[in-house]
Amino acid sequence: MGIIDQRSKKGDEDLMISNPLRLILLQFGNHVLRSLFFVIGFSIGVFLYLHLKASHMSTPKTQQPLRSTLLFHHSIKQELETQVLQHNMSDQELFTKVSLLSPPPPSSSSSSWLGRRHNNDGKMVVKVAFMFMTGGALPLATLWDKFFEGHEGFYSIYVHTNPSFQESYPETSVFYSRRIPSQPVYWGTSSMVDAEKRLLANALLDESNQRFVLLSDSCIPLFDFTTIYDYLTGTNLSFIGSFDDPNKSGRGRYNPKMYPQINVTHWRKGSQWFSTTRELALHILADTFYYKIFDRYCKPPCYVDEHYIPTLVHMFHGEMSANRTLTWVDWSRVGPHPGRFIWPDITDEFLNRIRFSQECAYYGSDGENITTSKCFLFARKFTEDTLEPLLRITPLVLGSGAGLSGL
């Protein structure tokens, strides 16, 4: 019995000694494995980063975006942008928030803004905010979907519509969940300008938006996305029509009660549909003084949307505008509204006549003055039944675009 007891005791002592040693060995092994996994993961991460960076630097500006660099970030950013659009700020709260944003310096085209991507020169690329003002659905949405296809990361979309409109865009559409908090708009009233400012303010909240284009539900693009993008971002000027019209439809709408803040010599008329830089957009949003004068004294037959921004820009920021609109419209027909186009009007000859109807000056951001036949990038008013012929003709007419070299 003593021998057995001694062996049992010895076995217990061996077990007591081996358990701590085994535990130590297991802990050491786990530590080695974790370190090994970390080294492997870190190496893979560095390799992928260098690979993606090389891909970024080799992508030309006029190429379509590389989807391998956008799939993950685009889905997350789209969700964040949608959340921003669903804010519950009042107009006053929204405009106040935007007024706190500082205008970018004049040479900010190479600044490091959130959301930009590199081109082959190592410079940063900006986004263009396309702002649609409509009462309900966009009848030409399919055409615009084709226009934006493959260019994610270079544009943002904002839609102002009647609050009662129930959205019906599929999730695959670029217009899905792009409505901003809106208010009713009545033709010929200051509510038109309110909607414009509302669109600008929401778009300005995204600092990567550096160009802003106001469009209607009857607008169409006259060129491919790359050509229009290069045209807008290749200059430091805005495109806002502003001219002195001595006729009844111009100076005849001036209200002497606006004097002395606004003199008749300051009075200007222009197209409602504009394209502006971020700097000028912030200046427009910052004004409340002159807007109140227009809101009070510009009543039909004076139309605020045709006079307020053209007059404001002429008085204080004329050097920042090319003083012309980029949206073509047919005013050859008599009446208060421009001509409308229907299915039989849509031919390749008709579109090319609009696209190259005249010559104008284009001032590049490098100071170069170019004479171009591309004076209009958009056109209106196109009815819903023009969608089918437009989808059929535009791939042949628009082509793939030649960028600024084709100006």
pLDDT digits (tens, 9 = 90+) for 291-318: 999 999 999 999 999 999 999 999 999 9
- Give 17 or 48, the one with higher predicted confidence: 48
Other beta carbons within 10 angstroms of residue 87's beta carbon come to: 14
pLDDT of the residue at 289: 97
Mean of pLDDT values over 234-248: 96
pLDDT of the residue at 274: 97
Mean of pLDDT values over 31-55: 53
**Average pLDDT across the chain, whole number:** 81
Confidence of residue 200 (pLDDT cuts 50, 70, 90): very high
Nearest CA to 278 out of 391, 154, 141, 109 is that of: 109
pLDDT of the residue at 72: 41
Is the link from the previous residue into 389 a cis peptide, with omega within 30 of 0?
A: no
pLDDT digits (tens, 9 = 90+) for 124-151: 569 999 999 999 999 999 999 999 999 9
> In terms of DSSP H, where are the helices of 58-164?
71-85, 91-99, 141-148
- Give 105 or 171, the one with higher predicted confidence: 171
Contacts of 279 (CB under 8 A, 6+ apart): 103, 104, 106, 320
**152 CA to centre of own chain:** 11
pLDDT of the residue at 36: 56
Q: Which of 39-48, 127-136, 393-402 has the lowest mean pLDDT?
A: 39-48
Radius of gyration of the chain (CA): 30
- Give 336 or 297, the one with higher predicted confidence: 297
pLDDT of the residue at 62: 39
Nearest CA to 126 out of 99, 101, 98, 104 is that of: 104
pLDDT of the residue at 123: 57
- Alpha carbons 377 and 98: distance in angstroms, whole number: 28
pLDDT of the residue at 21: 45
The 327-328 sheet, strands edge to edge: 220-221, 378-379, 327-328
pLDDT of the residue at 65: 41
Confidence of residue 257 (pLDDT cuts 50, 70, 90): very high
Contacts of 329 (CB under 8 A, 6+ apart): 271, 338, 339, 379, 380, 381
Confidence of residue 116 (pLDDT cuts 50, 70, 90): very low
Confidence of residue 380 (pLDDT cuts 50, 70, 90): very high
pLDDT of the residue at 230: 96
